[in-house]
Structure 1
Amino acid sequence: MASGSFKPGRIVQGLRAKTVPRERTALAIWFWEIDRVLLSLIAVLIAIGLVAVAAASPVAAIDRSTSTVSVNPLIYFYRQLMWVGIGLPVMLVISMLPRTQARRLALAMSAIFFVCLMFVPLLGSTINGARRWIDLPIGRFQPSEFLKPTFIVTLAWLLSLKGRDAALPVVPLTGVMTLLIAALLMQQPDFGQTVIFCGCWAALLLLAGQSMRFMIGMGGAGLAGIVAVYLFYENGRNRINDFLGLGVAADTGPDQADLAHKTITNGGFTGVGPGGGQAKFNLPEAHTDYIFSVIGEEFGLLACIGIAVVYLAIVVRVLLRLLDEEDNFIILAAAGLTTELGLQAIINMGVNAHIFPSKGMTLPFISYGGSSMIALCIGVGLLLAFTRRNPFMDRSPYVVKWSGR
């Protein structure tokens, strides 16, 4: 058969033929290579978050209002719109970067935000008894939020080097780095972020091929660390006591976890309707830490289940995307970023359902917060960049390409 019988831009793949797009612009290449399913799932979470912040905004606005100053009930919704407007372009721009450039960007940002985290004890501002933020002329930001995704990429890069040279001491090096960050976070205090950093490091070690004996030892060290936190770390001990009902006096009323549990179950399966929630006005930080309870009250437990399914779909989508990936760094980086997102969601939902002690953890892409939103967009932008691939290039050895010439 003559080659001229094949049309230009066709790829014969088994019994199927795909048409290769004729466009060669950077935007067209990005559109065909990006994981559009993953991007759509993230967009769904952001849309849900805007609705949820609009429902919780009046609660936070009342807390800020005084007898002389009245705050717009939807002020946090408008601010969240602004953060989304900033975060989405950042996410899309990062997702357009080649893998090598995305990795270099993450390494540079990790170094910058690690330095910022070190300066938090000196320059940080204190809010609700915690010093986690650094004030800037245009606002404040939380270095640990930005450090999470970039540090995970750094860990993935270091651990991937072990495949090239097994003698490199990358495991002790990453352990020292993680413990140093954990020590800085515990000073703030921020036990929730400490759990995220340590949990992601352990997950990456497992994926990097560490022995089960080593991982069991890590698990034992983690349990010993929790005991040490309870014995010597006042903030962690108070949260655990409150969760177990050991630290709340009889005349102080229910704690935050009890209020969140009552709120999330107040709406039943279908909810009381948008704006109809009343129990949410008893919640502290209804627009951030306990926004999942607000969703449960106004939109029902079915909505909460739906949100959990979206997070699960994101994790499954990324794992499926990595099944035929051969680059160890990409596998570790993408899996680590997904672990961060999923673990943070599990912790927040578990706290709202009174399964875990309160940790001050936001719900990814749904809770209000500028640092959280932009940092998550950076993380997902890196994830999208690492999972980009040419959909017209089969990874099997049976692809036959025809140029038509």
Structure 2
Amino acid sequence: MSLTSNAHAFARSDRTALGVWWWTVDRWLLGVVAVLIALGVMMSFAASPAAAQRMNVGDPFHFAVRQCVFAVGATVVLLGVSMLEVKTIRRAAFCIYLVAILVMIALPFAGHNAKGATRWLEFGGFSLQPSEFMKPALVILVAWMFAEGQKGNGVPGVSIAFGLYALAAGLLLIQPDVGQTVLITVAFGACFWMAGVPLSWVMLLGGAAVAGLSSTYFLMPHVASRVDRFLSPDKADTHQVDRAAEAIAAGRLFGRGPGEGVMKRHVPDLHTDFIYSVGAEEYGLVFSLLLISLFAVVVIRGLYKAMKLSDPFEQVAAAGLFVLVGQQAFINVAVNLNLIPTKGMTLPFISYGGSSMLAMGLTLGMALALTRRRPGAYSQGEGLTSSGGLT
């Protein structure tokens, strides 16, 4: 193929599926997500040797190589899903939610127990965490039900949405996984509020959520232990967060340099929940702020694009997905900085983990599909720039 034909491969007149996708997807969001995936791979090479040593794995780059595979898989999922139509997104979400819920029901009987929780299904050397895939599917279904309920056709959309949320939250608490429960509760509440329900209902839901979260302190010993360690660090073992804090402080402004981290060797779960501290030690405060800024761009631009959509379902679903991503990133960074009690929550696209990486590819793929430029998708008076943004 000549250079001339390559240059016009994605001309505006190109009506192929790939050409239409290229001119309708938000390429700024796509670019930022690509940078996050690349940084995740880079940081996996920084964390893998120390993690392999702590876990007695022979190959020092065992986790880095696997993360590269997961990154490729997540990229394929993200791009493939972002090309889907809205109806297909809804159908896919229904199927994913159903399968994830069925697997979550089976976890107490066939799941793998680790650190006092049964959240994974092991097969062929891999661990699958179904709740990761359930989250974006739940947001889509909840937004769908809220939209159907607003049409006034007799569909009890709000009741069905609450039922879907309650089923998912109940199964998460059985595992137990309070962090993921909080995550889907915040996302559900955001969808509830953006669907235009009365403020009194939103306040009632918020009160119920606070009461439910508070009750876990008295009903679940591991939750009480983590909260007590956070509130009274001088009276409890805070080895995990202390080592992470030391690694972050050691990085100072520009870090020790790639592969030069020392404190990371003493950080438990450094390649998963505490990989932020690894990046902070080796690349410094500047890198840490850049990483946070990238997530902020994804969330803020995503919410901006979502709010410009005219279809109620697309608007609520897209916004809910971006809230989901932003909330998960916030929890992970806040735990690393010891701003909230410790919680096993991965940093999207950065932490090691196949389920997390693939599920995030699915989540952002759905969000990009919903915010693609379509006839009538945005309010009147808006145009599309050559970069895929709005004028």
TM score, norm. by length of structure 2? 0.90
* Alpha-carbon contact 1:277-1:298 (below 8 Å) kept: yes
Listed as ranges, the matches of 1:1-400 within 5 Å are 21-65=12-56, 71-137=58-124, 139-165=126-152, 168-245=155-232, 248-249=235-236, 254-390=238-374, 396=380
SS at match of 2:87: helix
- How far off is 1:137 after superposition? 3.1
CA separation in 2, counterparts of 1:44 and 1:189? 33
Query: Distance between the aligned counterparts of 2:134 and 2:293, measured in 1?
Result: 27
2:140 & 2:176 partners in 1: Cα distance? Answer: 24
CA contact (8 A) 2:172 2:180 kept: yes
Tell me if structure 2 keeps the 8 A contact 1:56–1:291: yes
Q: 1:243-289: CA deviations, max 9, x gaps?
A: 1226954xx5x332222222212211211111111111111100000
Q: Conserved in 1, the CA contact under 8 Å of 2:306 and 2:316?
A: no
Q: What's the offset of the Cα at 1:211? A: 1.9
**Identity percentage over the alignment?**
37
In structure 1, the gaps of 5 or more residues are 1-18, 400-405
Q: Which runs of 5+ in 2 are unaligned?
A: 1-9, 384-391
Distance 1:28 1:130, change over 3 A: same
Q: Please report how far the alpha carbon of residue 129 of structure 1 lies from its aligned counterpart in structure 2 after TM superposition.
A: 2.4
Higher helix share: 2
What is the CA–CA distance in structure 1 between the aligned matches of 2:148 and 2:251, rounded to whole Å?
51
State the Cα deviation string for residues 25-81 of structure 1 (Å, max 9, x = none).
11111111111111001001111111111111112101222xxxx512111111000
Aligned-partner Cα distance in 2 for 1:227–1:392? 44
Amino acid at match of 1:185: L
- Which letter maps to 1:28? G
1:287-330 CA-to-partner distances (Å, cap 9, x unmatched) read 00000011111111111111111111111211221343110000
Partners of 2:19 and 2:211 lie apart in 1 by 52
1:353-387 deviation line (CA, Å, top 9, x unaligned): 00011110000000000000011111111111111
**Distance in 2 of aligned mates of 1:99 and 1:282:** 46
> What SS does the corresponding residue of 1:306 show, helix, strand or coil?
helix
What letter matches 1:155 in structure 2? Answer: V
Deviation at 1:83, TM superposition (A): 0.6
For 1:300, what is the secondary structure of its paired residue? helix
Residues 1:338 and 1:392: Cα distance change in structure 2 (over 3 Å):
closer
Structure 1 residue 395: Cα displacement: 5.2
Distance in 2, matches of 1:388 and 1:223, equals: 36
What is the rounded CA distance, in whole Å, between the counterparts of 2:109 and 2:334 in structure 1?
33
Whichever of the two has the greater Rg, that structure is: 1
Deviations for 1:76-131, whole angstroms, at most 9, x for unmatched residues?
11100011111211211111111111221111111111111111111101123221
Helix, strand or coil at the partner of 2:37: helix
In 2, are the aligned partners of 1:189 and 1:235 still within 8 Å (CA)? no
Question: Taking structure 1 as reference, are residues 39 and 238 closer, same or farther at Cα in structure 2, changes over 3 Å only?
Answer: same
**What one-letter code is carried by the residue in structure 1 that aligns with 2:344?**
G
What is residue 388 of structure 2 aligned with on the other side? none
Contact 2:142 2:164 in 1 (8 A): no
Change (3 A) 1:391 1:303: farther
Change (3 A) 1:368 1:213: same
Distance in 2 (CA, whole Å) between partners of 1:160 and 1:248 is 50
8 Å contact from structure 1 (residues 243, 257) kept in 2: no
